[in-house]
Structure 1
């Protein structure tokens, strides 16, 4: 089972890294398209759109960064032998919860706390 879990976590990590690369390309495209334009964010309606798109991309990049940290932490717990144990109470995390959320750190009972 640890090998299956490691494989799944590494696949999630690879997906997140691919997403990060794609978002970086999207941001580069956005910056490049705005470079030659005469954009005044305060007075140009299109400027608001570009600023919004840039903020949206920044948010997505931050979300992927958090996801990578969660996956790396789960891999660390796997190496330490604590993966699948609730960090609050120490009890095993239900396998169905781990199947749905492989980076979970708490059991369902402690998830809302």
Structure 2
């Protein structure tokens, strides 16, 4: 059955086939593997940073409002925690992309079933949606 690219899938439509054969995703596999390695390393480093900040905060007054060091440490902890959450989220996205590569669904939009453009996949190898669906979600 035919499907319309850029429109939500209906019960009668079939998932899209990526515009690029699965064998041609060698570069994407390599990029995702490299990103995964970098993210695992970054997560380990940020986790150590959190441990150092927690250790430092034990030597500081718990009254952040009146203690400049306490406020600084609380800010640093929040910043590092946000970076850690972001790295973990991106790692999860990379792992899902690798699973999609293995399943043969890489390059297919999760929302509409259309093809995710090669330029988008090159810029964001872990992309789950086509540009149209990503824009609709943000807009």
TM-score norm. by structure 1 comes to: 0.90
2:79 paired residue among 28, 48, 56: 56
- What's 1:67 paired with? 90
Structure 2 gap segments, 5+ residues each:
1-23
Structure possessing the higher relative contact order (Cα contacts under 8 Å, 6 or more residues apart): 2
What does the per-residue CA deviation read over 1:28-67, in whole Å, with 9 as the maximum and x for residues that have no partner?
Answer: 2222333334453132122111111111111111111110
Structure 1 gap segments, 5+ residues each:
none
Q: Which runs of 4+ in 1 moved over 6 A?
A: none
- What's 1:97 paired with? 120
**How many residues of Structure 1 are paired with residues of Structure 2 in the alignment?**
113
What does the per-residue CA deviation read over 1:78-102, in whole Å, with 9 as the maximum and x for residues that have no partner?
Answer: 1110001111222211101100000
Judging by fraction of residues, say which structure has more helix: 1
Deviates more, 1:32-41 or 1:47-56: 32-41
Secondary structure (helix, strand or coil) at the match of 1:42 reads coil
- What's 1:84 paired with? 107
CA radius of gyration, larger in: 2
